[in-house]
A = this chain, B = another copy of it.
Amino acid sequence: MSDDNQRIILAALPTGRLGPEHFRHERGARPEPGEGQVLVRTLYVSLDAANRAWMQGATYRSALNAGDVMAGGALAEVVESRAAHLKPGDLVFADTGWQAFAAVPAKRLVPLPRREPLTHLLSVYGVAGLTAYFGLLECGKPKAGETVVVSAAAGSVGSLVGQIARIKGCRVVGIAGGAAKCALLTRELGFDAAVDYKGGDVRRELRAAVPDGIGVYFDNVGGEVLEACLFNMSVHGRIACCGAVSQYDGAAPAHGPRGIPGLIVTRRLAMTGFIVSDFDDRRGAALAELQSWVESGQLKVREDVKEGLESLPAALVGLLAGDNVGKRMVKVA
C-alpha cells in the first residue's frame, strides 16, 4: 500500500477569522475502498464560501470537527471501483475532502461526462452554474424588464447569475468589492451597473443604481448588503437566499437585518432559501441550457485556478476575503 495520500487536516476550529494556522498538512496511506465504495484520485478541489460555514455548526450537512480531513467537493477520477456502474478512468463529482485520494460510497458520487475544459465541470457545469441557474430562475423568477441585483457578483455564482439575468432580458446590477471587480462586471460581463460595497455608502449607491426598485435580489452575502437591498425592494419582489458569506468567517451574527419582517409584509416580498440538490431532478435540462449559452458566447465563464494541494488553505482564506474572480479551484493532480 503506497504512502502517497497527501492530505490537509482541519487542525482546529476557528473561533474568529479563518487562517492557515487552522490547517496542517500530513501524509498517509491511500484508503482501501470497501464493498460498494470507489477509490478516487482528486483532480480539482472546489473552493466555496460554504466550506467555512461548515465549521460553524450543522447546516445542510453535519458540522466539521477538529482533526477531520478538511471537507470539500472535487472533480475526481475513479482509480478502483467496487461498484458495478463505475470503472477506472470515469470522472465523478465527490466530497473527497482535501486529499489526493479518497474512498467514497458509490451512491454519493455524481458521474460526470468527460468534457473539456475539465474545469468547467466545477464551474458553469458544476454546483456554481446550477446554483446560479436554479436559484435565479426558480426562486427569483425574474421577468424581462425587471431589475435583478446580485451580490458577490464577481464570484463563481454571482458572475453567472448576472449574465443569466441579462439573457432573460433583465436590467442587472452587481454588488462587488473594489473598482477592478466592478469594471469587470460592466465592461466584460455585460452588467448594466455595479456598486462597490467597499467604496462608500452601499445603501445610498445602491439606491441610485436601482431607480425602479429591485425585482429580484440574489443574495450571496447576507448582513448589511442584504439589509440595503431589502430597503430597496419593489412590491412583490423576490429574494433568492443562496448564502451569507459576510457572516461565515467569525462567530454567528448577533442579529439579522432590519426590516424583517416589516418590509416583507408591507412590500409583500418572498424570501426563499435553496440548495442546488433540491433541483436534482431537473439537472440535465439545466446543463443543456447552460451549455447552449456557453457555446453561443452569451455566457462567459471566469475561473481562478490555483496549483497544488498545499495551496488549499490560502485559497480558502483568500476566497473568504474576496480575492477571487470567478470560480476558484485548486488543481491537485
Interface residues of A (CB under 8 A from B): 53, 59-60, 219, 222, 226, 241-244, 247, 252-275, 278
Whether the Cβ atoms of B256 and A258 lie closer than 8 Å is yes
Whole-angstrom distance between the Cβ of A200 and the nearest chain B Cβ: 23
Known: A272-B270, A274-B268. A260 touches B262 (CB 8 A): no
Contacts of A270 in B (CB 8 A): 270-273
> Can you name the residue of chain B whose Cβ is closest to the Cβ of A258?
B256
Minimum C-beta distance from A249 to chain B (A): 13
| Assembled-state Cα–Cα distance A259/B57 (Å) | 13
How far apart are the CA atoms of A268 and B134 in the complex, in Å?
13
State the Cβ distance, A219 to closest chain B Cβ, in Å. Answer: 6
User: Within the oligomer, what is the number of copies of this chain?
Assistant: 2
Q: A13 CB to closest chain B CB, in angstroms?
A: 17
In the assembled complex, how far is the CB of residue A253 from the closest CB belonging to chain B, in whole angstroms?
A: 7
Pick from A253, A255, A273 the residue with the most CB of B within 10 Å: A273
Separation in Å of the A207 CB from the closest CB of chain B?
Answer: 16
- A-side binding surface: helix, strand, loop or mixed? loop
| Contact residues in B for A267 (Cβ distance below 8 Å) | 273
Q: Which residue of B lies closest to A58 (CB)?
A: B266
Contacts of A259 in B (CB 8 A): 256
A138 vs chain B, min Cβ distance (A): 11
CB distance from A231 to the nearest CB of B (A): 12
Residues of B within 8 A of A262 (CB): 53, 222, 244, 247, 252-253
State in angstroms the CA–CA spacing of A291 and B270 once bound together: 30
Question: Do A264 and B272 touch (CB < 8 A)?
Answer: yes
Question: In the complex, which residues of chain B have a beta carbon less than 8 angstroms from the beta carbon of A272?
Answer: 264, 268-271
Q: Among B254, B260, B275, B278, which residue has its beta carbon within 8 angstroms of that of A260?
A: B260
Candidate in A59, A242, A261, A267 with the most chain B CB atoms within 10 angstroms: A261
Instruction: List the B side residues contacting A247 at CB < 8 Å.
Output: 262
Nearest 5 CB-CB pairs, A to B? A256-B260, A255-B255, A256-B256, A264-B273, A265-B273
Cβ distance A229 to chain B, nearest Cβ, rounded Å: 11
Quick one: which of B244, B258, B261 contacts A261, CB cutoff 8 A?
Answer: B244
A275 near B271 with CB under 8 A, answer no
Is the beta-carbon distance between A265 and B278 smaller than 8 angstroms? no
Q: Is the CB of B273 within 8 A of A278?
A: no
User: What are 19 of the A-B contact pairs (CB < 8 Å)?
Assistant: A53-B262, A222-B261, A222-B262, A241-B261, A241-B265, A242-B265, A243-B265, A244-B261, A244-B262, A252-B258, A253-B262, A255-B258, A256-B256, A256-B260, A264-B273, A265-B273, A266-B273, A268-B272, A268-B274
